[in-house]
Chains A and B, each alone.
Chain A
Amino acid sequence: MSRRAHRLVFAGLVGVLLVLHLDVWNHDVGGLVFGWLPWDLAYHLAWMAAAAAVVWYMTLGPWTEDG
């Protein structure tokens, strides 16, 4: 895949992450995950796991040695 293609894919992934970050649908969702983790925290921890994967991809594809 070309550098340009990598960058387009990356931009798309960042766009999806930003939409998922604006989680207006979560505001009043209660409940606990694993019996102690509030749902909102669990959601954003999962979001960070996805963001970490996207960052990893960023360092492999779009981010080349010359820019």
Chain B
Amino acid sequence: MSDLTILGLVVLAYLLITLIIGWLAWRRTTATAEDYFLGGRAAKTFVLFMALFGTNTTPFVLLGIPGLSYHHGVGIFGLNAAVVGLGIPLTFWLIGDPARRAALRIGAITPVELYTRRFASPLVGHLLFAAFFAYTLPYMVTGVIGVGLTAQILTHGALSFTVAAVLVLAITIAYTTLGGMRATMWTNVFQGATFMVFILVAFALIAGDLGGLSAATATVAAEAPHLLVKGDSPQFTPGHWGSWGLAISLTVIAFPHMFVRMFAARDTAALKNVARLYPFVLVLLWLPAVLFGVWGAAEFPGLEGRASDGIFPRMIAAHLGPVLQGMALAGVLAAVMSTLDAQLLTLSSMLTRDILRRARPDMTGAHEVAAGRIFTLALSLAVLAIALQRPASIFDIAAFAFSGYVTLVPTLLLGLRWRRCTAAGAIASILAGNAALLLAQFGVLPPVGGVLPVAWGLLAAIAGAVLGSLASRPTDRATLDRVLGPTP
């Protein structure tokens, strides 16, 4: 049996298991929107953790971070992973848990629905939807690029970038449109386990093949010693370091596909357990990702720009046999599908419930689900069209999306934690934050102290929320009590 056949069989087995899990979930899903979109709000610690972590882990980590470490070295770990270990759990507490309680109180199914009712303003909901859509689309593109690239390298071109991209989208659509949130959470458990186990096994085997951890590091010290210290790389100047830390810590809760999973949590205890686990599992995933990139720089020097996105599959192809290469492709597929499914489901639920239902209030639950499925298909085609263009490196596309999501954080946070925050404040925050981000991206706002555009976006969003709220009439007390609970 050829290496390619073995690799294909391993991937096929993975895909088959995923579809079977999706089918089992479909059999248990009822036609109600709450069950389809939130899995009945019953996720306990283990499923919730795997669903959140699976959704949170994308080719940004598996391919983008090795690609970035290839150029900038071990400092990439501190720049990204460390601060996220604190930032993500903190946002689960400050935003995720009150959002879950408010959504349960009013029966909200999507973030847009929650904030529309919190601010008693459809315009806030429409702006949030537009922003979620604008930033999730490029983030989905990074996933599809990741699969295409990995498949192309590991199959030596037998499976082209385009075919791999079409396949991953088709299969994700199949189980997501059938089984809804329950399917995505159940498959996320399997998918999360697949890529976690693979990363750890690959780390041990590749280190062994390089002669052990000490020998691998010694090779880097001889070939590319600058990668073992931060040095004077612009990535690590205080302004860049601080503003990127802010961005990557705050962005995750503002992913609509992560935010909605907060609603699916059974209770606060489940969310607390997830917060406790997060930092530990991040280390297990990010440490190998950074070291793959650094080791790869010594072994495959000379990759320029976005070409370094392929360093992880190159290392796999060079050091592991066909079975593990198949597992690598399955692992990347798992990471991509576990995020893509959540993104598709969340965006489609917001479109059907928050946009279409507003236009047609007589729409039935079954029609809502059907409309969600059609939208999922259209969205997938748009993602595919952009991914085939490969507009930039995975890290750069993700960085653009992350910066945009951060401009929404003041609205998401203050809407739940500050009763004086008003619709005018939320609207001012979203508009000012995104305008400032764009101006900074185009160099109109200067990078004072080396800060990234996201710092300007966040600052403007905070100012917009505070000033806009104080300058407008408070939201009526009955609305606040209904959504946020009785006034303390």
Contacts and interface: CB of A to CB of B under 8 A. Distances in A.
Interface of B: 74-75, 77-78, 81-83, 85-86, 89-90, 93, 97-98, 101, 212-214, 216-217, 228-232, 236, 238, 241-242, 245, 268, 272, 275-276, 278-280, 282-283, 287, 290
25 contacts: A23-B78, A24-B238, A27-B232, A28-B231, A29-B229, A30-B229, A32-B217, A40-B74, A41-B78, A41-B290, A44-B78, A44-B81, A47-B78, A48-B81, A48-B85, A48-B283, A51-B85, A51-B86, A51-B279, A52-B279, A58-B90, A58-B93, A59-B272, A63-B93, A67-B101
A37 B76 CA distance: 14
Contacts of B275: 55, 58-59, 63
B214 A35 contact: yes
Contacts of A23: 78
A55 B229 contact: no
A38 B276 contact: no
A17 interface: yes
Nearest to B416: A67
Contacts of A56: 276
Given A23-B78, A67-B98, A55 B276 contact: yes
B277 to A, nearest CB: 9
Contacts, number: 104
Contacts of A67: 97-98, 101
B241 A55 contact: no
Contacts of B97: 63, 67
A18 to B, nearest CB: 8
Chain B binding surface SS class = helix
A55 B89 contact: yes
A64 B287 CA distance: 32
Contacts of B90: 14, 55, 58
B214 A36 contact: yes
A22 interface: yes
Contacts of B101: 67
A54 interface: yes
Contacts of B283: 45, 48
